[in-house]
A and B are shown apart, each in its own frame.
Chain A
């Protein structure tokens, strides 16, 4: 298999996953797919090197995240981030947990990136650390801070009186009392 063939196969198999991870991190689908392709194009330029990485997808994710942050910074679009689930309270099969989504939205970018890679991609601490190019200890500390914050925010929401809730959105399939801090 030539380098180009190898890259094409990588692109076809991993690009959407990278884009979705970026979308969850950035909250912007269009930007996420653009960032994924930009990062893939950089991977293409260095494919002979990157293909041998333990986790090339992690490199592409990080590069895409950096590109997107740069793009947002230049355009000052950070404040107008779109919700990923904006038009419906339901995905195809099930309701969306808006409380959790809101809480995720409020996480600092760096914490959200760690959460996405750990719990959406199900990467290990070490894989997450490598992808974000930070120390494993940093992953753990960001994760702890993120989870503590989510616990706190969700606990506050779920502890509120029903009348204070903005809608009758159903929570996730299982009640989350047990997840309160």
Chain B
């Protein structure tokens, strides 16, 4: 006769023994770690490098492990896996270094280039320039020193947002957004995102931090795509871990975040009355840190993506939880467009007229027919074995997709001494003129090796990064009226004085 505990031990062992073994590939953790580092890098580049980019990372169906390209309508490769020119290359010329402004990225405003500087330490957050070399500050739209300021062009307006390490309107850790209808000359509030945790309906996991991935505007509505990290519900964790001493009749009345990712001030009542009230002598307060709640927060990577709206500069309100991995948010033809991967196993694009009601445009592994759309572009987002990205055709009236492999599971050689682990970034401006693509190589310290230019999404010119930009590094791009500007940070450039390169946009055939 055996008791339940013995029975559990025996039975679990039996079941476990029946689980078939999987080959233990010691290289797999290394590959996963590399891919994660690259994902982090891309994530930061989205936020910090003013990429006017959105992404679709499809769960692609690469037919065979050795197929470098499953479906490539536009980009061709030679036998070494190097893309072959099918369109004109850009003729880059170096203009010189910018001043020590801490410039991180640029965007075309419709009238001039706008550069974002390293918030917090820099004198100004935003600058403008006609040629990419000479910059002058424009009115800082935000009320205080900001970190990680970025800016994008959306629906004819400039949007800028940044995380405030200090205080915005007495709210710690808020993200402030601003809109300019006149190319940055004047700004108005686009709303603020205030970090908070769920209070009314605690569930198992709640939002314990967020970061703005992207913003877009349609009419008077600003939508923000928010990447959130969820963690243990403080309510349950407090009780579970005995961090506060509460009796059966106790009630937690509220949490207030003291700082981002730091601690919560918890108000609770040790003996709530039958009417739900709490006498002053029964009310308590305590401060609990996130690590206390979650134990070691390491390894906790629970993520969610939501959309929040601000109407006419009002407070943001979360309106939509993305079912999938949202990778960007843009406006297009008076609609919000939100591409996402991992939507029912494929790629999908959500659209919304008002930001509140969202519709899944398609959920198919087949190539999306985006004919007629003019402002959405997907940059690559790493999927397991490949990356889709979307390119517009001329005029932004039609779109086509290129499907490229990436490293990690399927590493493809590209040129000598490296592996293709990109494409890394697709930089796009105004939705109509052209794309610049850079690919990265390398395992531990990936860097772009190839950049590509297409004015129509069909014909591409490719250039080796180090030859084009006089060495290794990384850069940000903006497509202007007649020129493309690159701010290139060379390896070892710790001063944030990027070298400016400019190229005339080739005449269309």
Chain B nearest CB from A111 CB (Å) reads 12
CA distance A7 to B27 in the complex (A): 11
Chain B, Cβ-Cβ closest to A109: B204
Contact B29 A40 (CB under 8 A): yes
Contact B9 A43 (CB under 8 A): no
B205 within 8 A of A: yes
Q: Given contacts A24-B16, A41-B32, A138-B240, are A176 and B7 in contact (CB under 8 A)?
A: yes
Chain A nearest CB from B153 CB (Å) reads 30
A175 within 8 A of B: yes
Chain B nearest CB from A107 CB (Å) reads 11
Contact A174 B2 (CB under 8 A): yes
Contact A15 B12 (CB under 8 A): no
Contact A37 B28 (CB under 8 A): yes
Q: Given contacts A76-B323, A176-B7, are A94 and B14 in contact (CB under 8 A)?
A: yes
Q: Number of B residues whose C-beta is below 8 Å from A? A: 48
CA distance A110 to B314 in the complex (A): 40
* Contacts between the two chains (Cβ within 8 Å), count: 148
CA distance A16 to B21 in the complex (A): 7
Q: Given contacts A39-B299, A179-B3, are A119 and B32 in contact (CB under 8 A)?
A: no
Chain A, Cβ-Cβ closest to B5: A119
Contact A73 B299 (CB under 8 A): no
Contact B33 A84 (CB under 8 A): no
A52 within 8 A of B: no
A156 within 8 A of B: no
Contact B19 A23 (CB under 8 A): yes
Contact A91 B33 (CB under 8 A): no
A113 within 8 A of B: no
Chain A nearest CB from B281 CB (Å) reads 28
Chain B residues with Cβ under 8 A from A84's Cβ? 15, 18-19
Chain B nearest CB from A175 CB (Å) reads 7
Chain B nearest CB from A80 CB (Å) reads 12
Chain A residues with Cβ under 8 A from B4's Cβ? 147, 150-151, 154, 176, 179
B342 within 8 A of A: yes
A85 within 8 A of B: yes
Q: Which listed residue, B3, B20, B31, B242, touches A29 by the CB 8 Å rule?
A: B20
Chain B residues with Cβ under 8 A from A39's Cβ? 299
Most buried by B among A24, A41, A59: A41
Chain B nearest CB from A158 CB (Å) reads 11
B120 within 8 A of A: no
Contact B295 A133 (CB under 8 A): yes
Chain A residues with Cβ under 8 A from B18's Cβ? 84-85, 91-92, 96
Interface residues in A86-110 (C-beta closer than 8 Å to B) = 91-94, 96-97, 100-101, 104
Q: Which listed residue, A120, A150, A177, touches B16 by the CB 8 Å rule?
A: A120
Q: Given contacts A74-B325, A138-B240, are A120 and B9 in contact (CB under 8 A)?
A: yes
Chain A interface main SS type: helix
Interface residues in A133-166 (C-beta closer than 8 Å to B) = 133-135, 137-138, 147, 150-151, 154
Contact A29 B8 (CB under 8 A): no
Q: Given contacts A40-B29, A73-B205, A100-B7, are A62 and B17 in contact (CB under 8 A)?
A: no
Contact A19 B299 (CB under 8 A): no
Chain B residues with Cβ under 8 A from A74's Cβ? 303-304, 324-325, 342
Chain B nearest CB from A113 CB (Å) reads 12
CA distance A106 to B8 in the complex (A): 14
- Contact pattern, B 283-308, Cβ under 8 Å of A = 1, otherwise 0: 00000000000111011111110000
Interface residues in A46-78 (C-beta closer than 8 Å to B) = 46, 59, 62-63, 66-67, 69-70, 73-76
Contact A70 B15 (CB under 8 A): no
CA distance A96 to B10 in the complex (A): 10
Interface residues on A, range: 35 or more
Chain B residues with Cβ under 8 A from A41's Cβ? 28-33, 36
Chain B nearest CB from A101 CB (Å) reads 7
Interface residues in A6-51 (C-beta closer than 8 Å to B) = 7-8, 11-12, 15-16, 19-21, 23-24, 29, 33, 37-46
CA distance A151 to B7 in the complex (A): 11
Q: Given contacts A70-B302, A84-B15, A150-B4, are A12 and B242 in contact (CB under 8 A)?
A: no
Chain A residues with Cβ under 8 A from B11's Cβ? 96-97, 100-101, 172
Chain B, Cβ-Cβ closest to A84: B15
Q: Which listed residue, B1, B21, B26, B240, touches A8 by the CB 8 Å rule?
A: B26
CA distance A6 to B2 in the complex (A): 40
B249 within 8 A of A: no
Interface residues in B207-226 (C-beta closer than 8 Å to A) = none
Chain A, Cβ-Cβ closest to B16: A20
- Contact pattern, A 119-141, Cβ under 8 Å of B = 1, otherwise 0: 11010000000000111011000
Chain A residues with Cβ under 8 A from B143's Cβ? none
Chain A, Cβ-Cβ closest to B296: A133
Contact B7 A172 (CB under 8 A): yes
Contact B7 A97 (CB under 8 A): yes
Contact B12 A119 (CB under 8 A): yes
Contact A16 B14 (CB under 8 A): no
Chain B residues with Cβ under 8 A from A43's Cβ? 29
Contact B26 A85 (CB under 8 A): no
Q: Given contacts A69-B302, A85-B15, A100-B7, are A33 and B2 in contact (CB under 8 A)?
A: no
Contact A116 B12 (CB under 8 A): yes
CA distance A100 to B11 in the complex (A): 8
Chain A residues with Cβ under 8 A from B241's Cβ? 134-135, 138
CA distance A124 to B147 in the complex (A): 47
Chain B residues with Cβ under 8 A from A133's Cβ? 294-296
Q: List 13 A-B contacts (CB under 8 A).
A: A12-B26, A19-B22, A24-B12, A46-B298, A66-B299, A66-B301, A70-B302, A74-B324, A84-B15, A135-B240, A137-B242, A138-B240, A174-B2
Closest 5 CB pairs of A and B: A133-B295, A63-B299, A41-B32, A41-B29, A120-B12
Extra A-B contacts (12), CB below 8 Å, given A46-B298, A100-B11: A11-B29, A12-B24, A23-B19, A41-B28, A59-B296, A66-B300, A70-B301, A84-B15, A92-B18, A101-B11, A174-B1, A174-B2
Enumerate chain B interface residues (CB-CB to A < 8 A): 1-5, 7-22, 24, 26, 28-33, 36, 205, 240-242, 294-296, 298-304, 323-325, 342
